[in-house]
Structures are given as structure tokens and as C-alpha cells.
Structure 1
Amino acid sequence: MPDYDFKSPRLCVEADLGEGARFSLEPAQANYLTAVMRLDTGAAVLAFNGRDGEWRCRLEKPAKKKADLVPEERLRAQTPAQSLAYLFAPLKHARLDYMVQKAVEMGAGILQPVMTQHVQASRVNVERMRANAIEAAEQCGILTIADCREPLKFDEALAAYLPCGPMIFCDERQDAESPIATLGRLAKGPASLLIGPEGGFSADERERLRGEAGVTAISLGPRILRADTAAVAALAVVQATIGDW
């Protein structure tokens, strides 16, 4: 575990960050620091924007219900965006929120909804996805914000991601080998992980995936997992074998 400040509040901001470059916070962020956290002028706040690394800032309160931050010291240099793309069939709101947060915590750099035949939710609120991705990044010390993308149809997703590196999909009917052994034969580098809906992939979708040379099927064991649980399990296995663990 790197040396890290776990005590100071941490915010993702839009402003450029540089020494002395004072900027105003959005009303919700100002309220959080001053009314919820009850911080006073001079308090330390960590800020990042996905471009300029992480900065320790000084809180200033120019007026009631307003708050500014003054960057004073860069604590960490900006890290590159994660190369792992997480492709998933959308779930309903609460479980989708959870899944997005956990995927970000586990190191997914791209969040790509995929509309499969048995998908549970027909619409995806991408702004809500981004809000959850930002919250997870703020809480877990992550410096890059996952790229939350508009939904793609199943065939569109394969066309977009197969040329970018190996695609791994979780097949509830695949139980011949440990996923660690299967993934151990893949090279490290950019990859995508595809998880289907609660009802699983359709027969046509499974046949299409198994017919693609760049696709690897893995099993997550003898138990049937909910899609949000499968996300955490699969991301852990992928990160431990071909990821950044």
C-alpha cells in the first residue's frame, strides 16, 4: 500500500490544478466540505481532475455557501488511464450503481454497457454511471476517471473491442478448467471483459462469442452468480492473472 493521506477529504474537480491556481468549487462540493464535513478556512483538501495528478489544497471560504480551493503541493503525479475495458449488460439502478463502483475500484478504465438479448434494463443513464465512477475514484485514491460510454448493441461491441486485444467472457456453461489457468495463457496488455445479464447470454450470442478467435471463455466456478457479484469475481481473476496486480 503506497503512502497515502486517508484522512483529508478528496474531490474530483474540473478545474486545472497547479500551485496557487485558486478555483471555486461547485455548490454541491462546497456544501459537502463546509456544511457536511464542517471544515473551516485553512483545512486541507485533496483534489484531482484526471489530468494533473493529486494536489493538497487549502480551503478558503470567500462567502456563505461558497468555497474555493488553493492548490499548494502536488502529492502524486498523474497515472495513465487503465487499459481494461469492462463490458456489461445493464442492470437496474441500485445494482448497476454498485457494479459501476466496484468495477472502478477493481481497475476498469472503460465502462461499456452492451445491450444483449436478455438484458434487464433497456435504458442506461450514462451521467449517473459517471457520477458513481467519480465517487468510487474519490473514495479509493484513484487518479483517473473511468470512461463511461454510451450503450452499444452486442454486435457493435464485438466490432469495437475485438480489434483492441483479447476479449474474455464469463460463460456459466464453461467449467472445464480453472479461469486462472485459462487466463494465464494470455499476454498482459489491453483487454476487455464481457459479462452478460442475469439470464445469461442467448444461444446465438454464445455461439458468436465462441466462434471468434480473439475471445476466451472462462468459468467462475460451480455456483451461479448474480451479475454484479460476477463482475467483482471476474475482475479479480483478470487483474490477478493478466492485469496490474
Structure 2
Amino acid sequence: MGDIRTRLFVDGPLAAGQSVRIEGAQAHYLVNVLRLGAGEAVELFDGASGGWRAEIVEAGKRAVLLDVVAQERVQAMPPDVWLLFAPIKKARTDFIVEKATEMGVRRIRPVFTRYTNSERVRPDKLRAHCIEAAEQCGGTFVPELDAAAPLDRVLGDWPEDRRLMFCDETMVAETGLAALRDAGQGPWAILIGPEGGFAPEEAERIRAMPQAVSVTLGPRILRADTAAVAALTLWQAALGDWR
């Protein structure tokens, strides 16, 4: 599918011979922005069955009709790692979700900590950012986006077999690469705190968890959105699909 540059996510299973109707913003993008017409090819993906070659049959002002021709890429799954983060200002929360999708995570969950200074989370908007990032980065998977929840509740229900990479802003933990490689493979999650850091009792609870692996992200204090990218980079290099 190297000759196709336009990629669109569709909500629903794809199959050869299927007709797909695109409306709204996606149709506007194809017809008015890219100026694509009948006979031109687009890659469609549904997040579960890989990439599919589709050809435009009809390009109208309000809708585009495509025929699905064939699967040309098998489904590629990211490593089994989740990202948990405390919501921050809107544009920076959007940035975290977008970059987590590009860098490869299975699941994203906003968590409310004691010092979280942004309590409004729009799941529909964050989902749209996930989809747009997947379309642009060439992936065929869109991360699951969980509803925001209090950190206490999330930790109380934590899976026994999933390690938790705790990005400790106190800088007294082990350096990242060494700690992650020592902990080894398996299901993982990464936890990024709010702009004000974790409350002392929150940090102590996390450190006491048998699944927790405390790491530092270098010698400087990072903003929350920068920390998310740094932590994902570190994890992918140590244990993920960047190795």
C-alpha cells in the first residue's frame, strides 16, 4: 500500500467487497481538502483488522462512497503497556493523548490525583485525538480510552500481574533503563503525575505496591506532558518494540 497516503479510521469491521459511506468531517477532508475523486484509493482501518485498500466510487459534497478492495496490511498491535496520567490544561492533555497513540500504547486512562488541577475531561474529544494520531502515524490500532477515575480507586483495583512504572519526581529512584530492564517483560503501565506532583501519601502508597517500579526521568524536573513522552520513550527503548 505504498502508493496510498490517505488513511482513515472507520468505526466497524471491514471486509473485502464491503461498501463504506463516509460523512461529515472525513468526507469534507477527502473531497474539499485533498480533492480526491472517483477511482482514487484510500487506506481504511478499523483498529482490529489491519489496513484495507478502498477505492472511491462516488465523491459528493456531503458523503463519499468507497468500495473495500482487499486487506493489504495485517493488524499490528502495540506492546501491552498502558498510560495513566493526571489531566492538565486542555491543549497539553490533548498532546499527551496524541503522543501516546503515536508512540504505541494499548490503553490510556486519565486519573484524578490530590493535586490534579484540571477536572474536566472530554472523552469524545480525546478519542478524536487518538483516531487522528493513528491516521497520521501509520498505525492500524487505536488505543482504548478509559473513563477518568480517582487514583485511589484505580490503584485499589490494580491487576496483580501488571507492573507499574512510577515516574518519581523526587529523583531518589533508580535510573530508568536499569530499573526497567531489571524488572523485565510482561504487562506494564506508566503513571505520570500532575503538575504539582503526587501527594506524599499517594507516592508512599504507590512505592509500597509490589507491582511498582520507581524510576527517574533524568536530572531535571519535567513538565507533565514532557514526562509522558520521556517515560514512553524510555519504556519502549528498554522493553517495547523499539528494541
Aligned to 1:107: 104
TM-score, normalized by length of structure 2?
A: 0.94
- Is this contact kept in 1: 2:31–2:59, CA < 8 A? no
Corresponding residue SS for 1:29: helix
Aligned-pair CA distance for 1:178: 2.1
Deviations 1:128-168 (A, max 9, x none): 11110001100011111100110111111112334241101
- Code of the residue aligned with 2:234 in structure 1: it is V
Q: 2:208 aligns with which of 206, 211, 221?
A: 211
Say if 1:182 and 1:193 are closer, same or farther in 2 by CA, change over 3 A: same
Q: Is the 8 A contact 1:189 1:243 kept in 2?
A: no
Q: Does 1:33 align with 2:30?
A: yes
Give the alignment partner of residue 73 of structure 2, picking from 63, 73, 76.
76
Residue 39 of structure 1 aligns with an amino acid whose one-letter code is L
For residues 27-46 of structure 1, give each alpha carbon's deviation from its aligned partner in whole angstroms, at most 9, with x where no partner exists.
Answer: 22111100111011111100
**Is the Cα contact below 8 Å between 2:81 and 2:105 reproduced in 1?**
yes
Deviations 1:58-105 (A, max 9, x none): 012264432111111211112346421100001121111111010111
Q: Which of residues 118, 127, 130 is equivalent to 1:133? A: 130
- Partner residue, 1:234: 231
SS at match of 2:183: coil
Structure 2: state its 5+ residue gaps: none
8 A contact 2:109–2:148 mirrored in 1: yes
Aligned to 2:178: 181
Where does residue 167 of structure 1 map in the other structure?
164
Verify: 1:11 aligned to 2:36, yes or no: no
1:192 to 180, 189, 192: 189
Contact 1:14 1:49 in 2 (8 A): yes
Tell me if the contact between 2:58 and 2:65 (Cα under 8 Å) persists in the aligned partners: yes
Q: Percent identity?
A: 41
C-alpha separation in 1, matches of 2:166 and 2:173: 15
Aligned length: 242
Tell me if structure 1 keeps the 8 A contact 2:4–2:42.
no
Answer 1 or 2: which has greater strand percent: 2
SS at match of 1:239: helix
Gaps in structure 1 of 5+ consecutive residues: none
Q: TM-score, normalised by structure 1?
A: 0.93
Within the candidate set 110, 113, 121, 1:116 is matched to 113
The verdict on how the C-alpha distance between 1:176 and 1:194 changes in structure 2, with shifts beyond 3 A counting, is closer
What is the Cα deviation at residue 113 of structure 1?
0.7
CA contact (8 A) 1:55 1:74 kept: yes
Mapped pair 1:145 → 2:159? no
d(CA) in 1 for partners of 2:174 and 2:13?
A: 49
AA of the residue aligned to 2:177: I
Q: Which stretch has the larger CA shift, 167-176 or 94-103?
A: 167-176
Classify 1:6/1:163 alpha carbon distance in 2 versus 1 (closer, same or farther; 3 Å): farther
User: Does the residue aligned with 2:160 lie in a helix, a strand or coil?
Assistant: helix
